[in-house]
Amino acid sequence: MANSSEKENGITERFYKQRKTMKQSAPVMNRVAISTVLIVFVGLVSKGLGFLRDMFLALFLGAGMENDAFQIAQSLPFTIFGTISVSMTTLYITIYEEVKNRHGKREALSFSNHLFIQLVFYAFFVSILGNLSAPMFVSFFAPGFSEEGRQLAIENTKISFWGIVLHVYIAVVSGYLHSEKKFFVTSLKGIFMNIGTLLLFFVLLFLQKDTVSIHIIALTILGGLLFYALLLTIEMKRSGYGFVTEKFSHSNEYVKKFFYLLLPISFGASVTQLAPICDRIIASFLGEGSISALAYGGRLTLFGGAVIASAVITVVYPSVVQWVQARQEAKVWDLMKKYMILLQSVMVPLVVFIFSESELLVEVFFGRGRFSKEDVFMTASVVRCLALGLIVYGVREVYIKIFHALQDTKTPVKNGMYAVLFNIVFSLLLMFPFGIAGIALGTSLSLTIMTILLHNKLRKKWCWINMNIPWREMGYIFYCSLAAALVCQIVQWQVTIVPFVRLLLLSVLFMSIYCLLSIATKRMWVIYAKHLLEGR
């Protein structure tokens, strides 16, 4: 009887601890809800402007040799270093919070100043080195290009490499603003970059008398980055950032720690981005337009999902860092479960809709000008296969952030290396029977496998926490989405209208049916959303 009583007391104690943890995380979820809605709205506007830019790109360049050369030229400076800059922001937040908690804000600013100067210096060095090695870079990453395409890619790569300096500057300033809980302005990145890019594009288009080259487009993208960097500088000064003249004893120590941790994180980020670059290398052997189809398909697939996932991660990560450093892992996982259900309530229906309406989506967004019907079919096949990877996209990103908060940089690096290996193997195996769609399918399969491996690794690290994934709830979400898609297909067979109006009608119909079914079946994401709206 005594043992039974002790067991009941232990269960009761764990229940109340878990309930207390959930209550403590509720205010954070409320702040996350408000901030996420704002950031998602801004992100969608940003993506809309980005799509407008891509539509002009498709209109003037189509999906041929010039566009392929442009995509390769953007690969290293913007794809890899753009991802590394995100890792810099994440690492900066972690170390800045550590310095501020231990030594005060003034020493944290001193650390920031020393770090900023060194990073900008190294960025200039890398940009110069990149300009000198552009021919070698293009020859390695686009072996299937013709001589004309190779020369175009080299010229644009030299222009794009100067964007590394701006990426590094934006990374540090964004990290500071995130630490000061200034999320809204940093979420304006896409809007101001795209506005700056489009304005400069139209100015150069007017000066060049309506002739467009990929050199003009490369310059406009640099102009958009510069425009956003100036905006961030103004907001940084308004937030109280200042150059501290005194040299504190711990500043160099933390700068060294930053670079020590940055090397494996950057390697991991680079390894992750090697997957799409390897896809482009393989696609260069499939003929003109294949690389462009991969690029357009990726942008269209990640339009909504990436915005929502990155918005939640941006807002949640500072709290995750604080809880991890305070050894409050239960809070982190409680937040993760809610995040996972809410994320999948968006991602799963998004995947189903994109998969069923891929050709219509590509036709509406890109199907005009030099973008032919054949380009539409090729890009749509890529979109369908890449959409499958959206289900795990946001989950993998947040797992990586948790490992970074734990200052475990080796696990994401190893995971990224395995991801590249699996991606290459799957792409080569599936390329022969399915063509360009096989490469996209290989990317989705490798991403799924790597997410499962990351989950298992974190589960072993936090073995005392029940880290079961809500598979059953995700299954119900899929059934609601599938039912909505079937109704949309029936309606589409009966209605013949212009593509844009048809897409708008089907989107509203799909969303309405999905939400009604979710409310009728009392899905957990509806309950969580209701609690967040009520401030509970």
Give the per-residue pLDDT at 15.
38
Tokens of 519: 């409310």
Query: In degrees, to the nearest 5, what angle opens at C-alpha 101 toward C-alphas 109 and 38?
Result: 75
Q: How far, CA to CA in Å, does 510 sit from each of 305, 385, 494, 519?
A: 16, 21, 16, 14
Which of 382, 202, 227, 203 has its CA nearest to residue 290? Answer: 382
Give the per-residue pLDDT at 461.
78
Tokens of 257: 């720690």
Which of 421, 432, 438, 345 has its CA nearest to residue 386? Answer: 438
Report the alpha-carbon distance of residue 293 to residue 434 in Å, rounded.
14
Residue 6 belongs to some domain of the structure: no
Residue 22 belongs to some domain of the structure: no
Q: Are 103 and 183 in contact (CB under 8 A)?
A: no
Residue 15 belongs to some domain of the structure: no
End-to-end, the C-alpha distance of the chain in Å comes to 39
Mean pLDDT per 10-residue segment, the chain (536 residues)? 46 43 49 61 72 74 73 73 77 85 82 85 89 84 77 85 87 84 73 79 70 74 86 83 60 80 72 75 79 83 72 69 72 76 85 91 81 85 90 81 78 83 90 88 90 85 68 87 92 82 91 91 79 60
Residue 204 belongs to some domain of the structure: yes
Report the alpha-carbon distance of residue 153 to residue 70 in Å, rounded.
6
Residue 9 belongs to some domain of the structure: no
Residue 18 belongs to some domain of the structure: no
Q: How many domains does the chain have?
A: 1
Give the per-residue pLDDT at 508.
92
Q: Are 220 and 52 in contact (CB under 8 A)?
A: no
Tokens of 212: 């467009």
Residue 285 belongs to some domain of the structure: yes
pTM: 0.67
Give the per-residue pLDDT at 391.
83
Q: Are 243 and 113 in contact (CB under 8 A)?
A: yes
For residue 466, count CB atoms less than 10 angstroms from its CB and return exposed for 0-12, middle for 13-18, buried for 19 or more: exposed
Residue 17 belongs to some domain of the structure: no
Give the per-residue pLDDT at 410.
80
Which of 120, 124, 99, 122 has its CA nearest to residue 109? Answer: 99
Give the per-residue pLDDT at 293.
84
Torsion of the alpha carbons at 27, 32, 33 and 37, rounded to the nearest 10: 160
Give the per-residue pLDDT at 466.
62
Domain that holds residue 300: 27-534
